[in-house]
Amino acid sequence: MKWRTFNGERIVSIKDAVEQAIIRERAAGHKLKVCIGTDSQVRGNGIDFATVIVFLREKRGGFMYIHTESTERNISLKERMITEVAKSIQIAYELCDLLDQYDVDLEVHADINTNPQFESNVALREAIGYILGMGFSFKVKPDAFASSSCADKVV
């Protein structure tokens, strides 16, 4: 996977970059929380995905790392929502030991609406079950800013 910072700087190893960020931010006296989310957009016959790792500094703003990818196949809305969650969980799983080591809270954000009037709601139960089954805490819309705001801006 190829990751980058918000300003476009390439990241060779996301795990190393996350650890360095934690060490740097702790040294500066910041308490951190990490939120991971994915959003997608249908583009013609394909889908573009963006996954973000958002670092929140308590009362001091934040920053994020970004990964984008595209697929040439078109899938149903429900499958796309579950794929978004799977991409977020994959990254959360890769980083959870590191975050536990440094005692950094982690949330997985799902770009799924709790209101049944919205189409994305078709995947709500499965997505929540998937996230909880993997042992992560989560947020969904309107509180899932990592996916619905941060990833949405870069997809």
Mean pLDDT of the chain: 94
Q: What is the pLDDT of residue 1?
A: 65
Name the residue ranges covered by the structural domains of the chain.
3-154
pLDDT digits (tens, 9 = 90+) for 41-51: 999 889 999 99
Give the model's pLDDT for residue 44. 87
Q: How confident is the model at residue 92 (pLDDT cuts 50, 70, 90)?
A: very high
How many Å from the N-terminal Cα to the C-terminal Cα in the chain? 16
Band of pLDDT at residue 61, cut at 50, 70 and 90: very high
What's the rounded Cα separation, in Å, for the pair 24 and 99? 14
DSSP state of 30: -
Alpha-carbon span 134 to 93, nearest angstrom: 8
Domain topology for 3-154: Nucleotidyltransferase; domain 5 (3.30.420)
How many angstroms separate the CA atoms of 126 and 116, rounded? 14
19-41 pLDDT per residue, tens: 999 999 999 999 999 999 999 99
Say if pTM beats, i.e. exceeds, 0.85: yes
Average pLDDT rounded to a whole number, residues 115-123: 86
**Residues contacting 51, CB < 8 A, separation 6+:** 36, 37, 38, 66, 67, 68, 87, 88, 91, 151
76-80, 92-96, 118-122, 146-150: lowest mean pLDDT where? 118-122
Contacts of 119 (CB under 8 A, 6+ apart): 77
